[in-house]
A and B are shown apart, each in its own frame.
Chain A
Amino acid sequence: MHELSIAMSIVEMTQEEAERRGGVQVSAVHLRLGAMSGVVREALLSAYEMACADTPLEGSRLVVEEVPVVVFCPSCQVRRPLSSVQLFCCPECGTPTSEIVQGKELEVVALEIEEWVQSPV
């Protein structure tokens, strides 16, 4: 269960980014999570809630975009989505390949920032 240390890194990195932008209030963190990142979505979501406690991010949401694995097929010479992480081969021609071109992502891609605006009278 390393999701808590991952969540704490996300919180820390988001707080730094919020401070860099003049102490803005972050309401959501958008994360891209690869199927081969080694991180479990559900565990990360609950760990995130714990990691946010008593920080300015308390109550914020973690929005996870799951990224499927895409491999490069050396025979077809194109990228193909993998049908199963238990079988690393081209779904079209069956050539074995371990060249992962997508699916290891663990990155914060965007923040939702609360902006106070004057409401119309």
Chain B
Amino acid sequence: MGSEPRLVEVRKNVLKQNDLVARVLRAQFRAAGVYVVSLVSSPGTGKTTFLEKILTRLCQSYSVAALVGDLATENDAVRLARSHAPVKQITTGTLCHLEAAMVQNAVKGWDLNHLDFLFIENVGNLVCPSSYDLGENLRLVLLSVTEGEDKPLKYPTIFNSADVAVVTKMDLASAVEFDWHSAHSNLQAVRPGMPIFRLSAKTGDGMEEYLDFLTARRDELRAAAAI
């Protein structure tokens, strides 16, 4: 007796399970009429401050909620709760990214029909979250002026997977000699045509334009769904 290998064809997407759950979520979000935005960035870019300001502003006219992924603490959820929006923390343990099933579990018990916007703050990481679809309508990548203009070239996969980029901490731009044109061309090089906003969550400069963009995107989606 001897053994010889035989090659059999399989063809299976490794992330099929996640993609299936994401598809179910997307349909669920669409049926409920909620516009879902996910946020990705490096640790320390200012996702939580940015989101706190966005939630506080949107809360005045819309029903909004947020999910926030973090490895170990619940500090971010506590901070975001100051906006008075419902916030749920997803503690990922040692996992470096959110997966669709975690989002599905987290929104259980929430009446999505009453929501206009749902924000999902991913774990601070520019590598791992890129492969996982969370069923969102819009993936937002944040880049702060303190990180350097070449971040998009170092992490092309995640910047390419995003739908919109926001350059934050613009109030510090001159202190760190931030080169906006270089950052802009690097972002466009890895994702041609991507809308890019620059703002300061701290001072509020540029926030208005971004909020207008978000509400316009939501209106477009609702108009398309109504046809």
Query: Which A residues are closer than 8 A to B by beta carbons?
Result: 1-2, 5-6, 9-10, 13, 17, 21, 25, 27-28, 30-31, 36-39, 85-89, 96-98, 100, 106-119
Residues of B within 8 A of A21 (CB): 8
In the complex, residue of chain A having the shortest beta-carbon distance to the beta carbon of B97: A2
Q: For the complex, would chain B's binding face be called helix, strand, loop or mixed by DSSP majority?
A: mixed
In the complex, residue of chain A having the shortest beta-carbon distance to the beta carbon of B156: A85
Chain B, range 13-45, C-beta contacts under 8 Å to A: 13-15, 17
What are some 30 contacts across the A-B interface (CB < 8 A)? A9-B14, A28-B5, A31-B14, A36-B157, A38-B157, A38-B161, A39-B131, A85-B157, A85-B160, A88-B189, A88-B190, A88-B191, A96-B188, A97-B192, A106-B131, A107-B13, A107-B14, A108-B11, A108-B12, A109-B9, A109-B11, A110-B7, A110-B8, A110-B10, A114-B3, A114-B4, A116-B2, A117-B4, A119-B1, A119-B2
Residues of A within 8 A of B11 (CB): 107-109
Judge whether A112 and B15 touch: CB under 8 Å: no
Q: How large is the interface on B (under 10, 10 to 19, 20 to 34, 35 or more residues)?
A: 35 or more
Does B127 sit within 8 A of A, measured CB to CB? Answer: yes
The contact of A38 among B128, B188, B194, by CB within 8 Å, is B128
Does B183 sit within 8 A of A, measured CB to CB? Answer: no
Does B176 sit within 8 A of A, measured CB to CB? Answer: no
Judge whether B13 and A117 touch: CB under 8 Å: no
Does B96 sit within 8 A of A, measured CB to CB? Answer: yes
Q: How distant is the Cα of A5 from the Cα of B97 in the complex, in angstroms?
A: 11
Residues of A within 8 A of B194 (CB): 98
Judge whether A116 and B189 touch: CB under 8 Å: no
Judge whether B6 and A112 touch: CB under 8 Å: yes
Q: How distant is the Cα of A19 from the Cα of B190 in the complex, in angstroms?
A: 42
Judge whether A106 and B13 touch: CB under 8 Å: yes
